[in-house]
Each structure stands twice: as C-alpha cells, then as structure tokens.
C-alpha cells in the first residue's frame, strides 16, 4: 500500500535506481512484498522504468507542473503525455488551486477531464493540495469535482508533500467520506491516497482504521488505498522485525531508500 | 402523498451548482454537487443492485453489565414530615423492572388522607422554618443535596435504569449529573433573588404540589424541587407510579442532608393520588409534567381556584433537515432526537422534516444507522435503546405503529434481536407519511419517527407548526439566516440549531399551545415559583 517517493531537484538516475531497488526488495525478509509504486518526476520515469519494468512495482509520475500547477494547460497536458510515453503507469496530477479559489470550478473540472484524456491507459491520482484549499468544505467540494470526471479505480490524493500541512486524519476523513457518498450514489469506486506526514506504522494504523470504519474492507487494498510516504516503509519494517524477534532493531539495520541523500 | 412525490420527482433539477456556471461560493459546495436524476433512490434505476459498503469481520460486542449495587429496599414507605411513614391506605403496589419484568420493590400507595398529612407537614415547615430561612441558608442545603447526589451518582444511576428501563449510559451520563446540576444552579440563585427582578422582591408562594412523569424520574424531580426550594417554597411531590424508587432514595438523601422535616414530602401512587395532590386546597401552585390529556383534566379541576399553574405537557417536535446540513451529523442528531431514552421524551424529534433534494439520502443513511443501534438490556453499558417503561406504554406504541402501517405509511425496522423477557420495541422509521396520519399528529412517546418532506422554508414552517403541540424543534442547516428565521417562526418553546436534546439548567424549557405553559430552568423558571412583591 506504500508508494515510495523521491521528488527533489537533486534527483539523479542513480538516486532513482536506489529508490527502485528498495521498492523491489524493501527488506531481506523474503516475506515482505515489494511496494505498490515508485513516484518520481517525469524526467525520471524512463530511469525508473528501467529498474522496475516488468515487475509488480508501478511507476508513478507527478505531472501537470507539480507541485504548483501554475503552467499553461497545454504545457501541463504535454507533460502528462510525455510521462505516459516514457512508460508511467500512474500519473499524479495537481489541480488548479488558483482557479478553484477564484471560484472557477468548471474550469478546474474541465482541466481534470483533459488530463484524464491525456493519461490514456495510465491510472490517475488527483492531488487536491488540501493545505491550500484550507477548509473542509473546499476539500469536500474539490473531491467531488475530481470524482465526477475521473474513472473507476483512479485516486484522489491529499497533497504534494511540498507544503507545510499534508495528510491529516481530519482531511483524510473528509475525503474518504466524499468517496463513500459518491460510491453509494453512483457505484463508482474511487481510490484514496494520503500523502506526506505519515511516518510511523502507528499513524498508518489510525488512517487504516478510519478507512475500515468509513469505506469498509473493499478499500483496504493497494488498488484503492495508498500511502504516499517513504519514511513509513522502514518503520513498518521495524515493526515486522519487532514482531519476529521481540525487540526493536537499530535504524541502521534497515537499508535506506533515497530520502537522506 | 404518492402523487405529490411523483410530480415533484419530475421537476427539473440542475445537475450541479458547479456545472451550471461555477459562480457559487465554495461554501455552497458543501452541498454535494452530485444529484441523482428524478431524486429516486439509488437502488431503483435500471434494476442495478445498489452499491453497498462491506464491513466484513466485525467483532461482536461482549456483554458489559453495570454491576454497582443500587441499594434498594424491599418496601418503600411514604416520605412525610421528614420521616418514612406507612400509608394510611395500608396498601402497596409493585414496582417492576421493565427490562426483565421482575418485581423490584413494593411502594406505598398514598390516599387522600396521606396527601392531606403531607400538605399539613409542608405547610407547617414553610410557615415555621423554610419560609423564614434567609436565601444563603437555603442555598447551603441545596448545595449539600447536589453534592450528595454526585457522591451517590452511580447508585442512583443503577436504580434509575432498573426502575425505568433507560440505558445505563443515559442515566449515568445524563439523568443523574443533570439532576445534580439543577440543584447546583438553583443553589446559586437562592441568595441572589433580589437581583432577579430589579425594583421588586421575590417572595415564596407557599406549598407547591408537583406531579412528575416516568420518563426522567429523578431529573424531573430535580427540575421541580430545586427551584421551589431555592425560592422558599415547600413541596408535596408525586412521582409516577412506575418509577417511584429514585424519588424515595432521594428522600433518604434528604434525611442525610438534614433538610428540615416537611420541606419536601413525597407521596407515591397512581392517578387518584395525583388528583388528591393537584386538587388539595393548601397548594398555592401546581406544577405538572405529563401528558396533555391529564394536563387538561387538571386544568379543568383547578379552573377558578386561583392557584398558580405550570404545565409541561406533550410534544410532537419537528426536526427539520435542510439540504445544506452536514448530513452525517444530522443523522446522529435525528437518532439522538428520537431514540434518546427510547423516545420517551416530550421534546423528542418525532416528526422528521427533510428537504426533498436530500430526503432519499437522509433516509438511507438513517436506516443504515439504525442497523447498528443496540437494543437490549438497559444495564449493559453498550446499549443504545433500553426497555419501554411499561407494558401499557408498549401497548400504546404498538397500537400507534399499527395505525401507521394501516394508514399506508412505509415502515422500516432494523432486524435486531430483542430480549425474550421485558418490554422492548425496535427503533422504527416511517416514510411516506402525510400530515393527516395519526403517527404524524399524535404523540407516540416511543422510538418511532415519522418522515415528511418539504421543498421550501415556508413549507417547512407550515408543516412544523401544523400540530396542536409546540414544545421543541430542531433545525439543521449551514445557513445562519435560516436558523434565525425558523427560530422566530416555529411555534416551539425550544428550537435547537444543528443539535438536538441539549439541556442546561440555565436554559428555560417549556411549551407553546397544547404543550403547556410556564418555564423550567433559567431566570424564567424562577419566576414561576415566586410572587413578585
């Protein structure tokens, strides 16, 4: 359920390769499965694809002038097409918060619809950037704007991880309730991805409980729920080891992905 | 109703506010931008099975019985002149636990002679002791009573649940703490009465006769006794015959508080005892909480006697849900409004008025919520709905529900299991209800809600006010102006906004129209127990 992510200006093919290897084999414990996806910038898609192509790990690419989305629509769509052409299996787009806050809701929705077109076969995750929408009302409204035009199996996602406030239990709850109401109304199941700020297994458990209680068992799979959180992975592995050995291991027993260099 | 619904369903409905221009402020978006064509339920179109959420392997609740000792006696006497005395009638009646139909105790039956001696004791105490005590001294007793109630809260809560059938979580978290709060609140007033009405003085009325119902036995007793004592009145009070035990436990508490003898007298019995209490010539005031039917009998009997009166009678409250309300929270409010205390609440939100665009969605959410309500043993800490107070009340509820079905309303009850022994009734929702159905007009006083729909604010007001009652109402909306408009135009003593069944001793409670007159709680409540001189 975890998406491993590196989204930095200093990303290199080597760093992405390191991330991908961690994604494929998070731990030397054979029973630990690979992660759901690696999430990179568009220019890194082909490097990532070289590493994980043909495996269960998907390549997700942020696109649409991530993280601000402040570029012309044509540019953003071209970026999406480029990432898909390079082999991205999933696209993480950002919505046009400027338009949303200015009240141009139909424009926001039309742009999302255009990105859906540009995605082709790639799955889409729509990043609302909740910290810039600020209120729960807006988060709920933006969730519906997105859900009305994306396809079954696409996702809505809390945030880019590039602002001060990311996924919280509160905004996660607003979004999964929106997903629930949309599903009960239309029968279309939309996925959810909280991103940023979830660092420990204990936190992840709280999010999963919220999902279990609001959306039920069908959402407790990586097809419908993803954590966008890299540092969560090693804490999960620490817990797995603790369950196995009865003691917490030192952090240096777990290989790092890419986040610290 | 069927035709009404159909024509409204055909009315064109904009798909979304967002689609049609995008000029609405984000606030308006709290409203779900999706709407189903024709407002029919999701299950209907195309024969497709309605989407359902799957909550797989849920754990069953383990029993969580409250086990504190309620310290009950086998037999309770009358409490007159500060002592427990045997009734002159020499008769006793049984108090039954409605949760399992077992006998809890024997209660003395007061006849007219007993009531007479209670009034004599009260009169003497008022004339010689209580009426002469300064307010700050009366306050000390009231504070002491409040603290003793808090000390013995658990014991009282268990006794209340055993005797009345309400879930232990409600008697523990609402009835007993609220009763104590009323004594605290009025203790605070007792030495500040000169500030209530500037330029005037508040004098006690004398002896007050009080008759209280079975739905909140100890709490109603506190509502009645606390303001009366704070103002220097003495009291003859009759609890309901099915729920006398906590009142008599309270009598023991008064002895422990060393309240002067005769200030509070408790006579137990049924209708005849009540008639003796309300018609006694010594009473300067009669305070009654109960059914409108009995209230009218008392009013007829007392016409022309010059006694001061307050009546808190029945209700058929409208709980109004607008389309911009937070629906999940509103559903919790509906559940709290009608299923609190098994619906044995005079201000229960028994008529649910839902804005038509969200009606199907609200009903679907409500029915889903009902499926997880826990009906059963009142003593279990997880129980949401306990036992119906008496076999007689169960019969009344059953009869009215049958009338609803017979008159063509659509009934929904969740498939929960009820205990084999005891008086229980499933939470019930009626849809397709019209204004002329009995279930929309008569007070059911049980866990039964009738759902009606409306389209405009005016229609909501008209339907809400189309009742002989006027005790309370609820409004659920995001829009402040609607709340203000409705709170003025609804003919109800209390209007709750985005909440329901909220009480506080400082907030006056009482009705309009056939829901009675007079207020309890707050400054207004004080004035009903005083004469201005």
Distance between CA atoms of B204 and B122, rounded to whole angstroms? Answer: 13
pLDDT at B221 over 50: yes
| Beta carbons of B29 and A141 less than 8 Å apart | yes
Pairwise CB contact (< 8 Å): B34 & A182? yes
**Which pLDDT belongs to residue B398?**
97
pLDDT band (50, 70, 90) for residue A28: confident
CA distance B471 to chain A (A): 33
| Record: contact A103-B26, CB cut-off 8 A | yes
Between chain A and chain B, how many beta carbons pairs sit less than 8 Å apart?
Answer: 78
The answer on pLDDT for B472 being more than 90 is: yes
Using an 8 Å CB-CB cutoff, list chain A residues near B25.
103
CA distance A147 to A156: 8
Distance from CA of A228 to the nearest CA of B (A): 24
- Please state which of the ranges A112-116, B32-36, B185-189, B420-424 shows the lowest mean pLDDT: B32-36
pLDDT at B31 over 50: no
Buried residues in A43-68 as b, exposed as e (16+ CB within 10 A): ebbbbbbebbeeeebbbbbbbbbbbe
Q: Are B215 and B346 in contact (CB under 8 A)?
A: yes
- Kindly state whether B491 is in contact with chain A, defined as any CB-CB distance less than 8 angstroms: no
Contact flag B53-A140 (C-beta cutoff 8 Å): no
The 3-state DSSP class for residue A98 equals: helix
Closest CB from A104, A135, A185 relative to B34 = A185
Q: How far apart are CA B488 and CA B195, in angstroms?
A: 28
Q: Is the peptide bond before A67 cis (omega within 30 degrees of 0)?
A: yes
Q: Which residues of B touch A105 (CB under 8 A)?
A: 18, 22, 24, 29
Start-end of H helices in A86-192: 97-101, 105-119, 130-133, 136-147, 169-186
Please choose, from the candidates B261, B199, B211, B202, the residue with its C-alpha nearest in 3D space to the C-alpha of residue B236: B211
Please confirm, yes or no, whether A217 is among the known catalytic residues. no
| Confidence (pLDDT) at A102 | 96
Measure CB to CB from residue B55 to each of A145, A184, A216 and give the nearest one: A216
A244, B118, B239, B377, B390 from B165: Cα distances, Å: 50, 29, 16, 8, 9
CA distance B435 to B442: 11
Position A18 pLDDT exceeds 60: yes
Question: Minimum mean pLDDT among B19-33, B99-113, B478-492: which range?
Answer: B19-33
Question: Which pair of tokens denotes residue A25?
Answer: 């084999």
Query: Nearest-CA distance from B142 to chain A in Å?
Result: 44
How many C-alpha atoms does B138 have within 13 Å on its Cβ side?
31
Compute the radius of gyration of chain B from its Cα atoms. Answer: 25
Show which residues of B are catalytic: 312, 346
Place of tokens 């609890």: B239
**B315-497 is a CATH 3.40.309.10 domain:** yes
Location of structure tokens 């119906």: B388
Q: In this model, does residue B242 exceed pLDDT 90?
A: yes
Quote the radius of gyration of chain A (alpha carbons, Å): 18
CB B514 within 8 A of CB B292: yes
CB-facing half-sphere around the CA of B482: CA atoms within 13 A? 20
Q: What is the dihedral of CA A145, A150, A153, A154, to 10 degrees?
A: -80
**Residue B3: what pLDDT?**
38
ipTM surpasses 0.85: no
- Taking the C-alpha atoms of residue B292 and residue B443, their distance in angstroms, rounded to an integer, is 10
CA distances from B242 to A33, A159, B118, B213, B246 (A): 64, 59, 21, 9, 11
Q: Is the pLDDT of residue A123 over 70?
A: yes
Which of the residues B26, B35, B329 would you substitute to probe the A interface, choosing the one with the greatest number of A C-beta atoms within 10 Å? B26
The reported pLDDT for the residue numbered A258 is: 62
Instruction: Give the C-alpha separation, B167 to A191, whole Å.
Output: 40
Neighbouring-strand partners of residue A227:
A2
Mean per-residue pLDDT, B126-154: 97
Give rounded-to-5 percent helix, strand, coil for chain B: 40, 15, 40
pLDDT at B179: 98
Mean pLDDT computed over B304-314: 95
- Angstrom CA distances, B365 to B254, B329, B449, B474, stand at 47, 11, 14, 18
Contacting residues of B for A192, CB less than 8 Å apart = none
How do residues A184-204 score in pLDDT, each as one tens digit? 989 999 999 999 889 999 999
Average pLDDT over chain B, rounded to an integer: 91
pLDDT at B518: 96
Instruction: Considering the candidates A22, A58, A89, A92, report the single residue annotated as catalytic.
Output: A92
| Range of weakest confidence among A154-168, B45-59, B172-186, B448-462 | B45-59
Least confident of A54-63, A229-238, B103-112, B353-362: A229-238
- Name which of B25, B33, B54 is nearest A216 (Cβ-Cβ): B54
Residues 6+ apart with CB under 8 A from B79: B85, B248, B251, B254, B264, B265, B266, B267
What b/e sequence results for B427-453 when a residue is b if at least 16 CB atoms lie within 10 Å of its CB, and e otherwise?
A: bbbbbbbeeebbbbebbbbbbbbbbbb
Rounded to whole angstroms, the Cα distance separating B520 from B527 reads: 9
Burial class of residue B11 (count of CB atoms within 10 Å of its CB; 0-12, 13-18, 19+):
exposed
Give the pLDDT score at B15.
36
**Which residues of B are less than 8 Å from A106 in CB distance?**
18-19, 21-22
pTM of the model: 0.86
Inter-chain CB proximity B29 and A180 less than 8 Å: no
| pLDDT at residue A229, rounded to an integer | 81
Residue B10 has pLDDT above 60, yes or no: no
Of B32, B48, B55, the CB nearest to A187: B48
Which region among A90-99, A245-254, B47-56, B331-340 has the lowest average model confidence (pLDDT)? B47-56
- Within 13 Å, how many C-alpha atoms sit on residue B153's CB side? 18
Mutate to test the interface with B, among A97, A128, A137 (most CBs of B within 10 A): A137
How distant is the Cα of B272 from the closest Cα of chain A, in angstroms?
53
Are residues B19 and A186, on separate chains, in Cβ contact within 8 Å? no
In Å, how far is A221's CA from the nearest CA of chain B?
A: 13
> Is B238 strand, coil or helix?
strand
Instruction: Measure Cα distances from B38 to B8, B30, B356 in Å.
Output: 8, 21, 11
CATH code 3.40.605.10 for B75-313: yes
**How high is the pLDDT of residue A260?**
54
pLDDT at B26 over 60: no
Mutate to test the interface with B, among A103, A141, A177 (most CBs of B within 10 A): A141
Q: Which tens digits make up the pLDDT trace of B148-164?
A: 999 999 999 999 999 99
Cβ contact, residue pair A135, B53, below 8 Å: no
- How far apart CA B369 and CA B146 sit, in angstroms, is 37
Would the CB atoms of B23 and A216 count as touching at under 8 Å?
no
Which residues is B308 bridged to in the sheet? B285
| Contacts with B459 (C-beta within 8 Å, 6 or more apart), sequence order | none
At residue B30, the pLDDT reads: 41
Sign of the dihedral through C-alpha B2, B4, B10, B15: negative
What is the β-pairing status of strands A123-127 and A90-94?
parallel
Query: pLDDT tens across A71-90, in order?
Result: 999 999 999 999 999 999 99
pLDDT at A261: 53
Nearest to A177 by CA among A220, A141, A123: A141
Percent of chain B with pLDDT over 90: 88
Picking from B24, B53, B56, B357 by the largest number of A CB atoms within 10 A of its own CB, the best residue to mutate is: B53
Provide, rounded to the nearest whole percent, the portion of chain A with pLDDT above 70. 98
Domain spans of chain B, in order of start? 75-313, 315-497
Residue of A nearest to B53 (CA): A216
Which pLDDT band holds residue A1 (cuts at 50, 70, 90)? confident
Q: Is B26 on the interface with A (CB under 8 A)?
A: yes
Considering the candidates A3, A154, A193, A235, report the single residue annotated as catalytic: A193
Residues of B in contact with A184 (CB under 8 A): 42, 50-51, 53, 364
Task: Kindly list the distances between the CA atom of residue A198 and the CA atoms of A205, A226, B337, in Å, as whole numbers in the listed order.
Answer: 10, 11, 38
Q: Which of A101, A105, A187, A210 to mutate to test the interface with B (most CBs of B within 10 A)?
A: A105
CB contact under 8 A, B42 and A184: yes
Is B90 in the A-facing interface, judged by CB distances under 8 Å?
Answer: no
Distance of CA B125 to the CA centre of its chain: 32
The alpha carbon of residue B23 is apart from the nearest alpha carbon of chain A, in Å, by 6
Q: B55 touching A, CB under 8 A?
A: yes
CB B41 within 8 A of CB A203: no
Contacts of B36 in chain A (CB under 8 A): 185
Cβ of B26 within 8 Å of Cβ of A107? The answer is: no
What pLDDT score was predicted for residue B18? 38
Whether pLDDT at B259 is above 80:
yes
Q: Which of A103, A144, A212 has its CB closest to that of B34?
A: A144
Q: Tell me the per-residue pLDDT of B383-404, one tens digit each, with 9 for 90 and over.
A: 999 999 999 999 999 999 999 9
């Amino acid at each position: 359920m975890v998406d491993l992510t590196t989204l930095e200006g200093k990303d290199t093919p080597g760093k992405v390769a390191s991330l991908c290897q961690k994604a494929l084999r998070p731990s030397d414990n054979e029973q630990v499965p690979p992660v759901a996806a690696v999430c990179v910038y568009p220019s890194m898609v082909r490097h990532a694809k070289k590493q994980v192509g043909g495996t269960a790990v998907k390549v997700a690419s942020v696109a649409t002038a991530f993280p601000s989305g402040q570029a012309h629509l044509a540019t953003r769509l071209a970026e999406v097409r480029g990432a898909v052409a390079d082999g991205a299996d999933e696209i993480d787009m950002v919505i046009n918060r400027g338009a949303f806050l200015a009240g141009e809701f139909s424009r926001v929705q039309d742009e999302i619809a255009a990105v859906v077109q540009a995605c082709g076969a790639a799955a889409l995750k729509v990043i609302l950037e909740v910290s810039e929408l600020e209120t729960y009302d807006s988060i709920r409204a933006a969730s519906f704007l997105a859900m009305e035009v994306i396809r079954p199996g696409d996702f809505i996602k809390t945030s880019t991880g590039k602002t001060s406030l990311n996924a919280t239990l509160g905004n996660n709850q607003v979004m999964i309730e929106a997903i629930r109401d949309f599903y009960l109304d239309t029968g279309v199941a939309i996925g959810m991805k909280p991103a940023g700020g979830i660092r420990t297994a204990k936190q992840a458990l709280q999010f999963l409980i919220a999902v279990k209680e609001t959306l039920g068992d069908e959402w407790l799979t990586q097809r419908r729920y993803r954590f966008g959180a890299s540092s969560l992975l090693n804490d999960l592995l620490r817990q797995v080891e603790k369950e196995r050995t009865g003691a917490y291991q030192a952090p240096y027993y777990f290989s790092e992905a890419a986040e610290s260099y | 109703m069927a035709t009404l619904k159909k024509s409204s369903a055909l009315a064109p409905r904009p798909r979304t506010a967002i689609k049609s221009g995008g000029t609405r402020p984000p606030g308006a978006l709290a409203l779900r931008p999706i709407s189903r064509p024709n407002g029919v339920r999701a299950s209907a179109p195309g024969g497709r099975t309605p989407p359902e959420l799957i909550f797989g392997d849920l754990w069953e609740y383990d029993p969580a019985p409250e086990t504190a000792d309620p310290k009950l006696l086998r037999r309770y006497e009358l409490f007159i002149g500060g002592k427990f005395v045997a009734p002159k009638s020499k008769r006793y009646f049984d108090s039954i636990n409605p949760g399992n139909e077992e006998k809890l105790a024997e209660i003395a039956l007061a006849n007219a002679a007993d009531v007479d001696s209670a009034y004599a004791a009260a009169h003497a105490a008022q004339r010689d002791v209580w009426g002469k005590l300064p307010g700050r001294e009366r306050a000390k007793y009231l504070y002491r009573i409040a603290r003793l109630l808090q000390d013995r809260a658990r014991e009282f809560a268990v006794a209340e649940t055993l005797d009345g059938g309400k879930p232990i979580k409600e008697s523990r978290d609402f009835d007993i703490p609220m009763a104590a709060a009323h004594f605290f609140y009025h203790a605070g007033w007792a030495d500040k009465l000169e500030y209530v009405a500037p330029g005037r003085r508040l004098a006690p009325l004398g002896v007050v006769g009080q008759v209280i119902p079975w739905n909140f036995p100890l709490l109603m007793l506190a509502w009645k006794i606390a303001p009366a004592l704070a103002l220097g009145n003495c009291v003859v009070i009759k609890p309901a015959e099915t729920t006398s035990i906590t009142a008599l436990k309270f009598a023991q508490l008064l002895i422990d508080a060393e309240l002067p003898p005769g200030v509070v007298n408790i006579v137990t019995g049924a209708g005849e005892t009540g008639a003796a209490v309300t018609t006694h010539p010594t009473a300067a005031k009669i305070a009654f909480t109960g059914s409108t039917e009995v209230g009218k009998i008392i009013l007829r009997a007392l016409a022309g006697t010059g006694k001061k009166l307050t009546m808190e009678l029945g209700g058929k409250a409208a709980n109004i849900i607008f389309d911009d309300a937070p629906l999940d929270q509103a559903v919790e409010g509906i559940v709290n409004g009608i299923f609190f205390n098994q619906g044995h609440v005079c201000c229960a939100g028994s008529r649910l008025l839902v804005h038509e665009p969200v009606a199907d969605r609200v009903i679907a959410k409500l029915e889903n919520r009902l499926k997880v309500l826990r009906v059963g043993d009142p003593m279990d800490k997880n129980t949401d709905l306990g036992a119906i107070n008496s076999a007689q009340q169960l019969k009344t509820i059953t009869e009215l529900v049958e009338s609803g079905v017979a008159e063509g309303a659509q009934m929904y009850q969740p498939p929960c299991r009820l205990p084999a022994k005891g008086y229980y009734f499933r939470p019930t929702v009626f849809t397709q209800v019209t204004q002329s159905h009995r279930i929309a007009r008569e007070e059911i006083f049980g866990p039964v809600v009738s759902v009606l729909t409306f389209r405009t604010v005016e229609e909501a007001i008209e339907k809400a006010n189309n009742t002989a009652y006027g005790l309370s109402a609820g409004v659920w909306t995001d829009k402040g102006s609607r709340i203000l408009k409705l709170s003025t135009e609804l003919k109800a003593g209390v209007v709750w906004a985005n909440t329901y069944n909220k009480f506080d001793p400082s907030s006056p409670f009482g009705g309009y129209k056939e829901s009675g007159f007079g207020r309890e709680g707050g400054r207004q409540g004080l004035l009903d127990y005083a004469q201005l001189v």
